[in-house]
Amino acid sequence: MTEAQHTTILIPGWMNDHTAERLDKTYRVLRIDSADAALLPAREVAKIRGIASAGRIDSRFIDALPALEIIAHYGVGYDAVDSRHAAARGVVVTNTPDVLTEEVADTALGLLINTVRELPKAEAFVRAGKWVGDDEYPPSRLTLRERKVGIFGLGRIGLAVARRVEAFGLPVSYHNRSRVEGVSYAYHASLLELAEAVDTLISVAPGTPATDKAVNREVLAALGSDGVFINIGRGSTVDEEALIAALVDGTIAAAGLDVFASEPDVPQALLDLPNVCVLPHLGAASVHTRRAMGNLVADNLDQWFRVGAAKTPVPECVAVAGRG
């Protein structure tokens, strides 16, 4: 048996099947239903050196594992992991950037088109047998033509979205904490200022205390009555009550949402609205991309236990020293 096969990796809750199978071939894998310290077998606690997880890992769970060295998170957003506490404990946290960038950007544009041109409704019209005789699906009230697009969060995914928006012949503006070097897009120092300058807002922002409910009543009102809001980032960045009210009273025209504040619970008020397109957080959900994400989870663990350095540590953990 190799040294790696003596190394215990914990999978709390769901994990991509390909990832779990790969880890099973290399490590001694322990699985529990969720990241709840009460579920940890007492005889195993001191043996767990790594976690592969797609869900919440809080400070109490981290502290329950005295031998923990690495948390390999499945996903680019890692707000579910207390990375600052992990770093303070000397535990490195990794995520899966880059490998899902293009897939999520594709989804963002698909969601935008579906929201504006009502393609899912038009398909349902045909499937229901309504396209008969002289009946036709009514022309969409909204169009992408002559729209001005603002991107909230011009990171890797935001830049990929911007490239696609440009290909549609639409101008792009953005808001970030600071300017992004090397881009020609118009920068706005506040989200409200961005919303005032555009009529289509695409949120790719991460879920952080600074972005919590950043898309609020004032921002939505600034988009105007033809405004469209698309969220492919995190549900926590939006004041959902304000969004529902804006959609009901015509403050904005429509919204397309792949993420929600309390997933998988979607407010019934959103589902009841005819001017909302909803998806089940599937931005990166293709077999191809999820396999690549899973491989990066395993690669981070492999490299850590082989040379003491992770491939893609999150910013809070870049200074965590390894064994190498």
CATH number at residue 181: 3.40.50.720
Please say if 281 is a catalytic residue: yes
Residues 196 and 123 in one domain: yes
Answer whether 137's CB lies under 8 Å from 122's CB: yes
Residues 128 and 272 in one domain: yes
* Burial class of residue 202 (count of CB atoms within 10 Å of its CB; 0-12, 13-18, 19+): buried
The span from the first CA to the last CA of the chain, in angstroms, equals 22
Q: What is the pLDDT of residue 1?
A: 45
With a cut of 80, say whether residue 118 has pLDDT above it: yes
Q: What DSSP element (H or E) covers 131?
A: none
Q: What DSSP element (H or E) covers 203?
A: strand 200-203
Number of domains in the chain: 2
Q: Which of 18, 156, 217, 281 is catalytic?
A: 281
- String of b and e for 76-103 (b: at least 16 CB within 10 Å)? bbbbbbbbebbbebebbbbbbbebbbbb
The mean pLDDT of the chain is 95
Residues 138 and 208 in one domain: yes
Residues 88 and 135 in one domain: no
Q: What is the pLDDT of residue 161?
A: 98
- Is residue 31 in some structural domain? yes
Residues 113 and 228 in one domain: yes
Answer whether 140's CB lies under 8 Å from 117's CB: yes
Please say if 263 is a catalytic residue: yes
Q: Which of 73, 147, 188, 234 is catalytic?
A: 234
Distant-in-sequence, close-in-space partners of 73: CB < 8 Å, separation ≥ 6: 53, 54, 57, 80, 81, 93, 94, 95, 96, 297, 314
- Is residue 322 in some structural domain? no
Q: How many CB atoms lie within 10 A of CB 141?
A: 12
User: Where in the sequence is the domain holding 242, given as residue range(s)?
Assistant: 101-278
Q: What is the pLDDT of residue 146?
A: 97
Longest dimension (CA), the chain: 73
Assign 99 a pLDDT band (cuts: 50, 70, 90).
Answer: very high
CA gap 279, 301 in Å, rounded: 31
Of the candidates 212, 110, 195, the residue with the CA atom closest to the CA atom of residue 161: 110
DSSP string, 266-306: --HHHHT-TTEEE--S-TT-SHHHHHHHHHHHHHHHHHHHH
- Is residue 159 in some structural domain? yes
Amino acid at 266: V
Residues 120 and 157 in one domain: yes
Residues 255 and 140 in one domain: yes
- Is residue 262 in some structural domain? yes
**What are 136-191's pLDDT values in tens digits?**
999 999 999 999 999 999 999 999 999 999 999 999 999 999 999 999 999 999 99
Percent of the residues in the chain that have a pLDDT greater than 70, as a whole number: 98
Residues 29 and 89 in one domain: yes
Residues 95 and 143 in one domain: no
Residue 252's φ and ψ, nearest 5 degrees, are -125, 165
CA gap 15, 281 in Å, rounded: 16
CA gap 282, 98 in Å, rounded: 16
The arithmetic mean of pLDDT across residues 80-98, rounded, is 97
**What are 204-228's pLDDT values in tens digits?**
999 999 999 999 999 999 999 999 9
With a cut of 60, say whether residue 323 has pLDDT above it: no
With a cut of 80, say whether residue 3 has pLDDT above it: no
- Is residue 244 in some structural domain? yes
Q: Which of 263, 288, 306, 323 is catalytic?
A: 263
- Is residue 59 in some structural domain? yes
Assign 2 a pLDDT band (cuts: 50, 70, 90).
Answer: low
**What are 231-287's pLDDT values in tens digits?**
999 999 999 999 999 999 999 999 999 999 999 999 999 999 999 999 999 999 999
CA gap 75, 99 in Å, rounded: 10
**What are 102-114's pLDDT values in tens digits?**
999 999 999 999 9
